[in-house]
Amino acid sequence: MSNTGEQDVDKKQRKQLRFSAIYLVVALLGMWLFQVLIFQPLLLEAQEVPYSVFRSDVAAGHVKEVTIGQERIFFTLYDQGDPTAPADLPLQRAGMTYNTVPVPDDQLIQDLLAAGVTFRAEPPDSGLLTNLLGWFIPVLPFALIWYYFYRRLGRGGSNILSIGKSKAKEITGEMSGITFANIGGLDEVAVELKEIISFLKSPERFTRLGAKLPKGVLLVGPPGTGKTLLAKATAGEAGVPFFSISGSDFVEMFVGVGAARVRDLFEQAKKKAPCIVFVDEIDAIGQSRATVGALHTNDEREQTLNQLLSEMDGFAPNQGVVIIAATNRPEVLDPALLRPGRFDRQIQVPLPTEKGRRQILGIHTRNMPLAEDVNLDRIAQITAGFSGADLANIVNEAALLASRRDAAQVTMADFDLAIERVVAGLQRSLPLKEEVKRKVAYHESGHALVAALLPDTDPVHKVSIIPTAKGALGYTLQVPEEDQYLVSETELKQRMAVLTGGRAAELLVFGEASTGAANDLQRATEMARRMVTEFGMTEALGPVHYLADAGMGYLGQRAVLRPELSPETETLIDREIRRLVEEAQQTALNLLREHESALHQIAAMLQEREVINGEEVLRIVAEHQHQP
Ligand code: ATP
């Protein structure tokens, strides 16, 4: 379905492009025809000759008529049958009209009079036409280019005349129809915003007592946690207009446009006060000048940021404009933005807890016919770490799966498959050789068996050797029992053992590893790196934090080591990371060796059925443990 949609858009764009190209060709052809059909004949009709020829023709008495223009002189010789024609008239030129470029010549009029030539000045009309052509033709290409850009920008939602205008979309709160009832799992965050709502509803209550409300509120949290939704709901609850713009909209190709947009946005907002201005992705303009670095200074961004700061300073706190900004990279923001009187109130919007996920699922399935077997509590339980947007996506995916089956209701199986799709990506049919399939089966069985054998890892939910669109040839899906806020050293080591379990199984069974373990190794190494440099979990390096503050990773951004570290320490860090990963792989190898018969059985079952679930893995492990 979506494929057809994309094709349609593609077709439309191609059509528009073709239209523009045809338009240009037709315009150029038109210009050329204009030149050839109208302009050229005027000149072609009369052959151009040197002024001296004209003068000698006048002197010889061959010229009958002359029209004197500013840029040209047209003259016609006597016709052959004309009774007044001179006897020596050159017959081959008789009756011809010529043109010549005038030369300053005071004598000309007297000579024409003396020769009895009829002469006149060029009528003003034809001058106008020439003049018109004279300016129209050079201007035409510029007009065409201008029109072309005008259309292109116009299609993008603005046009060249309003390039400095803010792109903020105004939706009134009531129209957006969004309230806190549409948001799940963010009750505490909503409480913090309630104060702003009551201020917007009745500002007098606050101003009477001289209270000042924050001008700016910064919502900080991972992507998809509902920051935009919160800002909309705040406007909706207060019943005030809602302006929304994204930081990247401010940054245009023309310097100064961003600043003009900020000015315009605040002008509009002040007119509609009380209102809410929502700036999404504020980090696009508000990035710290220090972190951007001297090599990457960006005038446009800086001007826009300065304009935003001065606008925020320029209106009084009781003017009724509240700015809500959102970012998932608070650490890169310029400190100037976070000063009192600007975005001095920060509200964290975290990933939802299990209870929150249950609420979000409830909201999104509100109008959906669910089958009896759908257990939203269970879905909330197995989706730890998912954002609100992920959950909305799962619900939508499940509904799509059900409608593809032409079913009247959405079932639990639809949800299960939808979760897998969000985690692992779509299934892909990829014809694999038996030998490759066998390797993948052992690799995944290795992960699953190690996970099943170690006590402090997340339970295995499903093991599959069906390739996915995300590029994996198979996957082992583990789902946590509950939200985890703290992870112990033992748990981290066991997770690393599970990650290296796939490679360990390949080593055990085939005597060598394959490229399939690259991603596992990357994740295990990253875990080891954090254990060593951030969590102080090794004897050799002690309880020391080795990362530079500026690069501190928030939300999984890469961290950098402190620059002043000695080369010895860096070498030691590398060595410790390697030791941890090697130990994890050894743990996995030992476990698999010990339970080799279970490994073979799981792998055989996988090869046969392609997908097996967590309970089956546990059953096989239990059976083999009871065998003598
Ligand atoms: P980003 O940082 O990527 O801009 P965001 O935090 O602004 O993301 P939203 O755009 O508000 O996230 O959320 C995207 C969608 O996810 C919403 O339209 C909504 O369908 C769903 N969603 C996210 N969080 C929630 C929530 N707490 N309750 C209900 N739905 C949610």
214 vs 329, higher pLDDT: 329
What pLDDT digit, counting tens, does each position of 332-382 carry? 788 888 887 788 788 888 888 889 999 999 999 998 899 999 999 988 888
**d(Cα 202, Cα 625) in Å, to the nearest integer?**
70
What pLDDT digit, counting tens, does each position of 150-181 carry? 565 544 444 444 445 555 555 544 456 788 88
Q: What is the mean pLDDT of residues 23-41?
A: 67
Name the residue at shortest CA distance from atom 15 of ligand 1. Answer: 389
Tokens coding 254:
């023309």
Atom of ligand 1 at shortest range from CA of 327? 2
Question: Percent of the chain at pLDDT above 70?
Answer: 79
Chain centroid offset of residue 48 CA:
62
Average pLDDT over the chain, rounded to an integer: 80
Could you tell me if residue 256 is left (phi over 0), alpha (psi between -120 and 50 degrees) or otherwise beta? left
**Residue 232 CB–ligand 1 contact under 6 Å:** no
Most ligand 1 atoms within 8 A of CB, residue of 228, 245, 555 to mutate? 228
Distance 390 CA to ligand 1 centre (A): 9
Name the residue at shortest CA distance from atom 29 of ligand 1. Answer: 183
Q: Residue 135's pLDDT is what?
A: 65
**Residue 225 CB–ligand 1 contact under 6 Å:** yes
Segment of 36-50, 184-198, 204-218, 553-567 carrying the highest mean pLDDT: 184-198
What pLDDT digit, counting tens, does each position of 463-494 carry? 988 887 667 888 888 877 776 778 899 999 99
Q: Residue 42's pLDDT is what?
A: 55
Name the residue at shortest CA distance from atom 9 of ligand 1. Answer: 226
Residue 620 makes CB contacts below 8 A (sequence gap 6+) with 598, 601, 602, 605
Q: Residue 90's pLDDT is what?
A: 83
Quickly list H helices, 117-256: 124-155, 173-176, 187-201, 204-207, 227-238, 247-250
Tokens coding 445:
């069985």
**d(Cα 218, Cα 325) in Å, to the nearest integer?**
5
Predicted TM-score (pTM) of this structure: 0.63
Contact in structure between 273 and 235 (CB atoms under 8 Å): no
Distance 183 CA to ligand 1 centre (A): 9
Q: What is the mean pLDDT of residues 39-49?
A: 67
What pLDDT digit, counting tens, does each position of 260-269 carry? 778 888 888 8
**Residue 389 CB–ligand 1 contact under 6 Å:** yes
Tokens coding 44:
């072609």
What pLDDT digit, counting tens, does each position of 94-124 carry? 888 888 988 888 888 888 888 888 898 876 5
Contact in structure between 245 and 280 (CB atoms under 8 Å): yes
Q: Which residues of 153-190 are buried (b: 16+ CB within 10 A; e: fewer)?
A: eeeeebeeeebbbbbbeebebeebebebebbbbbeebb
Q: Which of 52-66, 242-256, 316-330, 425-439 has the lowest mean pLDDT?
A: 242-256
Q: Residue 428's pLDDT is what?
A: 66
**d(Cα 133, Cα 34) in Å, to the nearest integer?**
10
- β-sheet bridge partners, residue 287: 333
Residue 63 host element (H or E): strand 63-68
Question: Percent of the chain at pLDDT above 90?
Answer: 25
Distance 187 CA to ligand 1 centre (A): 15
Contact in structure between 501 and 588 (CB atoms under 8 Å): yes
626 vs 223, higher pLDDT: 223
Contact in structure between 277 and 269 (CB atoms under 8 Å): yes
Banded model confidence at residue 555, pLDDT cuts 50, 70, 90 = very low
Name the residue at shortest CA distance from atom 3 of ligand 1. Answer: 223
Distance 216 CA to ligand 1 centre (A): 20
Name the residue at shortest CA distance from atom 21 of ligand 1. Answer: 389
pLDDT at 577 over 90: yes
Most ligand 1 atoms within 8 A of CB, residue of 179, 183, 225, 283 to mutate? 225
**Residue 351 CB–ligand 1 contact under 6 Å:** no
Q: What is the mean pLDDT of residues 451-459?
A: 91
**Residue 228 CB–ligand 1 contact under 6 Å:** yes
What pLDDT digit, counting tens, does each position of 274-304 carry? 888 888 888 877 776 555 444 445 666 777 8
Length of the chain: 628
The total of other beta-carbon atoms located within 10 Å of residue 141's CB is 12
Q: Residue 18's pLDDT is what?
A: 63
pLDDT at 141 over 60: yes
Distance 230 CA to ligand 1 centre (A): 8
**First-residue to last-residue Cα distance in the chain:** 55
Atom of ligand 1 at shortest range from CA of 352? 27
Which positions are catalytic? 444
What pLDDT digit, counting tens, does each position of 581-604 carry? 999 999 999 999 999 999 999 999
Banded model confidence at residue 9, pLDDT cuts 50, 70, 90 = very low
Residue with tokens 């990457």: 296
Distance 227 CA to ligand 1 centre (A): 6
